[in-house]
Homo-oligomer: A and B are copies of this chain.
Amino acid sequence: MHQVFAVIMAGGVGARFWPASRTRRPKQLLDITDSGETMIAATVARLPADLPPERVLVITSEAIRDAVIAELPRVPPQNIIAEPAGRNTAPCIGLAAMHVRRTHPEAVMAVMPADHLIADVPAFRTAFDTGVRAAAAGRLVTFGIRPTSPETGFGYIELNDESEEGVCDVRRFVEKPSREVAQQYLESGNFVWNSGMFFFTAQAILTEMQARLPALYEGLETIAASLGTPAESAALRQHFPRLPAISIDYGIMEGATGIQCIPVDFGWSDMGSFEAAWELSPKDAQGNARADDHIVVDAEDCLVRVPKDKMVALIGVENLVIVDTEDALLICRKDRSQDVRLAVDALKQRGRNDLC
């Protein structure tokens, strides 16, 4: 196989899983679906078996770098890089590309978020190989998720007909659609969800960045000059927070030509809310995702996430999200899961950052 670096984007601070998630314990460090491992550990574990841990780069934040190191004991700590500030995905990927280019300019970077769920790991690995092959030829490649519903929360990618085995040319990227348009996309069969997972060589993405986002590229070059020297940390702190905050989709992908997409169907979820977590969690016969020893009397379709030694009794309730922690308890109607961020907003307004 071509030389590959996995680049795990782990800078997210998602507030939609409060109170389970906190600033210092964001979603990627949780096991919301009760799978037995955190999302970031699962993300690394599902990488191809022959990818050595030394080829895993993780871009995260200073706040959680130590926790990420603890979660990924096989990945060398120097591969776990803390951004001094979150600047969206283009600077994140650009920084990773500078690291990779320094030693392996032609290596393929397989870029993926640390907080997505993929049920079918063999299918993922097959698609991964396809992605590496296409990227090794110099193309920018993205995974497109075959849609299963008219989602309005994702961007879509319109595909041309399949150009070679498993790979399509991209016709265009489209923004989050209305429900009606999403329904049309779903029925047309040639639209996929933009997954946020990419394959390209370090050289290819940096060439695009230089052309399309020159200010970003220049800033990254300044940082790159110090990589591997004693000045690296100071340079990162000085320059990274001033890089333009822009997404790789908006800054590069939506405008670039010759993008390729691999339509995939491997049980993907971006786990955007507790409702998604409920859908993907093991459940009892009444649809409750909960611990075996919890007491359930006429309760249905609830998600219960509490510390292991806590007894829970549900009586006569349905469609609730119940999340308990040492210092905070959430009770939310399941279809209002997106509004959990309102609780975090309220806490911040009150200056209760200790609970965020």
A residues whose Cβ falls under 8 Å from a Cβ of B: 18-19, 293, 295, 297-298, 302, 306, 309-317, 320, 322, 324, 327-333, 335-336, 339-340, 342-343, 346-347, 350, 352, 355
Are B314 and A331 closer than 8 Å at their CB atoms? yes
14 A-B residue pairings within 8 Å (CB atoms)? A297-B346, A310-B327, A310-B328, A310-B329, A311-B328, A311-B347, A311-B352, A313-B340, A314-B332, A315-B336, A316-B336, A317-B320, A322-B331, A324-B329
**How many copies of the chain does the oligomer comprise?**
2
Are B343 and A315 closer than 8 Å at their CB atoms? yes
- State in angstroms the CA–CA spacing of A350 and B292 once bound together: 13
In chain B, what residue has the closest Cβ to A334? B316
Residues of B within 8 A of A324 (CB): 324, 329
Are B313 and A333 closer than 8 Å at their CB atoms? no
Are A311 and B333 closer than 8 Å at their CB atoms? no
Among A314, A331, A335, max chain B CB count under 10 A is at: A331
In chain B, what residue has the closest Cβ to A338? B315
- The minimal Cβ–Cβ distance linking A317 to chain B, given in whole angstroms, is 5
Are A355 and B315 closer than 8 Å at their CB atoms? no
- The minimal Cβ–Cβ distance linking A239 to chain B, given in whole angstroms, is 38
Are A333 and B310 closer than 8 Å at their CB atoms? no
Are B306 and A333 closer than 8 Å at their CB atoms? no
Residues of B within 8 A of A313 (CB): 18-19, 328-332, 340, 343, 346
Are A317 and B331 closer than 8 Å at their CB atoms? yes
In chain B, what residue has the closest Cβ to A333? B316
Given contacts A297-B339, A343-B297, contact A332 B311 (CB under 8 A): no
From B297, B335, B340, contact of A342 by CB (8 A): B297
From B293, B316, B333, contact of A315 by CB (8 A): B333
Are B317 and A333 closer than 8 Å at their CB atoms? yes
- State in angstroms the CA–CA spacing of A328 and B340 once bound together: 23
Residues of B within 8 A of A293 (CB): 350
- State in angstroms the CA–CA spacing of A330 and B317 once bound together: 11
In chain B, what residue has the closest Cβ to A326? B310
Are A306 and B329 closer than 8 Å at their CB atoms? yes
- The minimal Cβ–Cβ distance linking A353 to chain B, given in whole angstroms, is 12
- State in angstroms the CA–CA spacing of A202 and B337 once bound together: 62
Are A332 and B315 closer than 8 Å at their CB atoms? yes
- The minimal Cβ–Cβ distance linking A182 to chain B, given in whole angstroms, is 24
Are A311 and B331 closer than 8 Å at their CB atoms? no
Among A312, A315, A339, max chain B CB count under 10 A is at: A315
- State in angstroms the CA–CA spacing of A320 and B297 once bound together: 14
In chain B, what residue has the closest Cβ to A322? B331
Are A355 and B311 closer than 8 Å at their CB atoms? yes
- State in angstroms the CA–CA spacing of A293 and B347 once bound together: 10
Residues of B within 8 A of A340 (CB): 313, 315
- State in angstroms the CA–CA spacing of A293 and B310 once bound together: 24
- The minimal Cβ–Cβ distance linking A337 to chain B, given in whole angstroms, is 8
- State in angstroms the CA–CA spacing of A339 and B314 once bound together: 10
- State in angstroms the CA–CA spacing of A335 and B315 once bound together: 10
Are A315 and B339 closer than 8 Å at their CB atoms? yes
Are B312 and A328 closer than 8 Å at their CB atoms? yes
In chain B, what residue has the closest Cβ to A340? B315
Residues of B within 8 A of A322 (CB): 329, 331
Given contacts A339-B315, A342-B315, A355-B311, contact A331 B327 (CB under 8 A): no
Residues of B within 8 A of A306 (CB): 329
